[in-house]
A and B are shown apart, each in its own frame.
Chain A
Amino acid sequence: DAEITQSPRHKITETGRQVTLACHQTWNHNNMFWYRQDLGHGLRLIHYSYGVQDTNKGEVSDGYSVSRSNTEDLPLTLESAASSQTSVYFCASSIGPSNEQFFGPGTRLTVL
């Protein structure tokens, strides 16, 4: 069955380290999204991509970067992790810009 997966599911790192969170979908969806979820803020968009080699900044993109080298993957990189980036991160994908988004299971990241 087609699906969207994220790894790792849990990650603890130290301030200043580079961290990469993986997102992989097998639906062949063009659009992929990264969100962070924090208490009191709901889900906020970090970065998104409409296809290979396309990336765009979302609402809370500072300190994060993404790259899209193929259809299936959109890794999220924290160049220098900060304690404010402790959060739960969700990846999502959709077949087109105006279509429903389907979410992965999430990665819980703790920055000490």
Chain B
Amino acid sequence: GQQLNQSPQSMFIQEGEDVSMNCTSSSIFNTWLWYKQDPGEGPVLLIALYKAGELTSNGRLTAQFGITRKDSFLNISASIPSDVGIYFCAGQNTDKLIFGTGTRLQVFP
């Protein structure tokens, strides 16, 4: 089945650093979503993007919908320990989500 290419697969950073991750696809999407998953929990929606070129922020998180509609980026500024988890991108056309393979983020104090 189709999957999105998400990179990097994992990141180990120090508290206070900024983080960037991205997602690319061979297909175009009408919506891009970013989720975070904590251990033992379900994914939680962080940001939703609906228009090519759109830049949206949610606190320290900023995400962009790529102009080509085939990619999206998520940035986390001034990371804190509770940012630890797995971040998933998802592309959506009509009803179904296609998920990326995830970026595992570790934050060290």
Interface residue ranges, A against B (CB under 8 Å): 31, 40-45, 48, 50, 58-60, 90, 92, 97-98, 100-106
Contact = CB atoms under 8 A, between A and B. Distances in A.
B109 interface: no
Nearest to A9: B40
Given A43-B99, A50-B95, A100 B45 contact: yes
Contacts of B95: 31, 48, 50, 97-98
Contacts of A92: 42
Contacts of A100: 33, 45, 48
Contact of A98 (B31, B35, B40): B31
Contacts of B102: 42
Given A97-B95, A100-B33, A105-B42, 7 more contacts: A43-B43, A43-B88, A48-B95, A90-B42, A102-B45, A103-B43, A105-B41
B100 A42 contact: yes
Chain B interface extent, by class: 20 to 34
Interface of B: 1, 3, 30-31, 33, 35, 40-45, 48, 88, 92, 94-97, 99-102
Contact of B3 (A42, A50, A60, A103): A42
Nearest to A102: B45
